[in-house]
Amino acid sequence: MNRPHLYDWFSAGAEKWPSEIAIEVDGLQLSYRRLEHAVARMAGLINRAHGSRPPRRVGILAARSLAAYAGYLAALRLGATVVPLNPAFPPDRNRLLCDRAGVDVVITDESAAGQVSSLPPGVTLVNPAADAWRALLNGPVPDIPPCGRTNDVAYILFTSGSTGIPKGVPIRHENVAPYLDFNIERYQVGPGCRLSQAFDLTFDPSVFDLFVAWGAGATLVVPRKDELMAPVDFVNARRVTHWFSVPWYISMTSRLDQLTPDSMPGLRWSLFAGEQLTVEQADAWRTAAPRSVIENIYGPTELTVTCTGYRLPARRADWPVTANATVPIGRPYPFMETRVVDESGREAPEGELCVRGPQRFAGYLDSGDDAGRFLEIDDDGARPYDGTAPLESSHWYRTGDRVRWADGELVHLGRLDAQVKINGCRVELGEIEAAVRGQECVREAVVLVVPSARGAMEIVAVYTGEEARSRDLVTSVRRRLPRYMVPSRFKRLASFPLNANGKIDRRRLAEELT
C-alpha cells in the first residue's frame, strides 16, 4: 500500500469511506469527511497564526478533545512534525520538551489553560476561546496545498533519560508505514470496527489507535478519563471491538470485581503492551471477554510502537508456561530482525534483545544519545556503536530488555539497566534520582521500585542529607517530573549500605524497604 506520509493513511481513508464515522470524542461523532474538513480548518488556523512560514514542529498540548486530534492531523497535513505534550505534565517539563524539539507552534485546549504562560517565548499559540472550536465544524474549508514532504520525521516522542534529561525519539514516516500495513491486516481492521484510545498521545501505542483505525475506515473511540476507570462499561456502552491498553487496566478492573464471566461479549480483539502481561491477568480478561483474541505485543518507542507479538491459543489448556508466569512477547514481525546476545555480543538463548529493520528509528534527537545504544555485528564479532561513524540501517538497536527464547517464542525477563515500567510508562530511575538530588536538603539519592503493601509496584526514593517532609519533597519533585514518575514514598537514611566493591548496595536497600 503506497502511503509514504503518515497523513496519507487518514486522507486515503477519508477518500474511500467519507461517510463512515472516523472519531467519537467529547460527545461528537464525526464522519471521515467532517473530520477531514475540521483538519483543514485547523490547518488554516495554524497558518494564519504562524504567518507565512510553514510550521516545522507542532506541539499538541491538548488531551482527549477535537482540538487534540484535529491538531495532530493538521500538523501532519502541513508537513510538520508532531510533538505530543501533556497537560498533566509539569509546565517546566512541557517547556523543556518544546525547547529540545524546537517546537514553533503549540495547539492547546481548555485542559492546558494553566500551562500557556510557561511555554517558551516565540512559540506561536493556537488557542482560541472554547466556543471558537465550533468553527472547526462549520464554515468554509480552506484550500491547503499538499505538504510535499515524505521522508521527514512524522513525530517526536520523549522517553525518560538516564542523565536526567528526556531523550527525543524521532520516528519517520517511512518507519510507520510497514507497521500500519501489517497491523491493519493482522487485526482485521475495517469499516465497522471500533478501536479504543486508552493511551495518552505522549505514549506511542496511541499511534496504533489513531492510524490503524483511520488507515482502515474504522472508528476511533475516545474515552473520557472517568470511562477509562471502568473499562468493561466503556467497551459495552461504546461497542468497542478492539481494546488496546497496558495490562494495569486488567489489574485495576479485577480489583473492582468488574471482570465477571462474559461481561464483554462483543469484544473481538484485546491487545496489551507497555509492561509484562502475566498469565493471571490474561486469564482474568479472558473470563470477561471469552470471544476475544488476546495478544501480548512488545516494542520500545525506538522501534515504532511494537515489533513482536504473541497470540494466546483459544484453548486455555494450550497456554504456555513460562518461568516468570508472564505471557511471551512472541516472535518478531516478518520484516523485522531480532537477535539475542550475551554480554560479549555473541548470539545466545538468553540475553539482551537487539532489533533492526524498517521500523527502527534513525537515531535520537540528540545524536550524543546514540553512543552505546546500537551494536555492529559482523563476522569479527560485536562492537558497541561509539557515535563516530554514521549510523547505518545495519546497526542493531539495543533494547536493554533481557529476554529468553523458550519453545520458539521470546519471553521478557526484565530490564538490564535501571529503567523500569510503571503502569505501562517507561521510567529511568536515574532521571528520578536526578530530580530528587536537585532538592536543597538532599545529598545523595537512590530510587527503587519495590512491591507495595497492596502488591502493586511503587517508586520509593531513599536519600541522605537533611530531614524533610515527604509532602514537601513530593510537591517539589512534581515540578520537574510527570505524576507517574513521582516517588510514592521518601525515606531518609544517615548513610547508604555499601557492597564489597564500595558501591551502594541497592539490593539490600530494596530488601529493607519491603
Name 379's Cβ contacts closer than 8 Å, sequence gap at least 6: none
Distance of alpha carbon 409 from alpha carbon 327, whole angstroms? 10
- The per-residue pLDDT for 212 is 98
- The per-residue pLDDT for 364 is 97
- Tell which wins on pLDDT, 182 or 115: 182
pLDDT at 130 > cutoff 70: no
Listed ranges 144-158, 305-319, 418-432, 451-465; the one with the highest mean pLDDT: 305-319
Query: Across residues 364-390, what is the average pLDDT?
Result: 91
Shortest CA distance to 382 belongs to which of 353, 346, 417?
346
Q: Residue 152, Cβ neighbours under 10 Å: how many?
A: 16
Ranges of each domain in the chain: 331-415, 419-513
Rounded to the nearest 10°, the torsion over CA 473, 479, 485, 486 is 20
pLDDT at 176 > cutoff 90: yes
pLDDT at 132 > cutoff 80: no
- The per-residue pLDDT for 393 is 95
Name 137's Cβ contacts closer than 8 Å, sequence gap at least 6: 28, 30, 34, 37, 38, 66
- The per-residue pLDDT for 268 is 98
- 419-513 belongs to which CATH class? alpha beta
pLDDT at 287 > cutoff 80: yes
Return the bridge partners of 106, or none: 59, 125
Tens digit of each residue's pLDDT (9 = 90 or more) over 56-103: 999 999 999 999 999 999 999 999 999 999 998 999 999 999 999 999
Return the bridge partners of 444, or none: 464
Query: Across residues 49-61, what is the average pLDDT?
Result: 90
- Tell which wins on pLDDT, 139 or 329: 329
Query: Across residues 388-395, what is the average pLDDT?
Result: 94
List, as one string, the DSSP characters of 216-263. Answer: TT-EEE---HHHHT-HHHHHHHTT-SEEEE-THHHHHHHHTT---TTS
pLDDT at 503 > cutoff 70: no
Name 248's Cβ contacts closer than 8 Å, sequence gap at least 6: 275, 423, 424
Least confident piece of the model among 181-185, 255-259, 305-309: 255-259
- The per-residue pLDDT for 163 is 65
pLDDT at 219 > cutoff 70: yes
Query: Across residues 131-142, what is the average pLDDT?
Result: 76
- The per-residue pLDDT for 128 is 56
pLDDT at 499 > cutoff 80: no
Return the bridge partners of 13, or none: none
pLDDT at 277 > cutoff 80: yes
pLDDT at 380 > cutoff 80: no
The yes/no answer on whether domain 331-415 falls in CATH 2.60.40.10 is no
- Tell which wins on pLDDT, 458 or 234: 234
- The per-residue pLDDT for 251 is 85
- Tell which wins on pLDDT, 124 or 379: 124
Query: Across residues 98-122, what is the average pLDDT?
Result: 92
Per the listing, cell 521478557 goes with 412
- The per-residue pLDDT for 192 is 97
3-state secondary structure of 393: coil
pLDDT at 279 > cutoff 80: yes
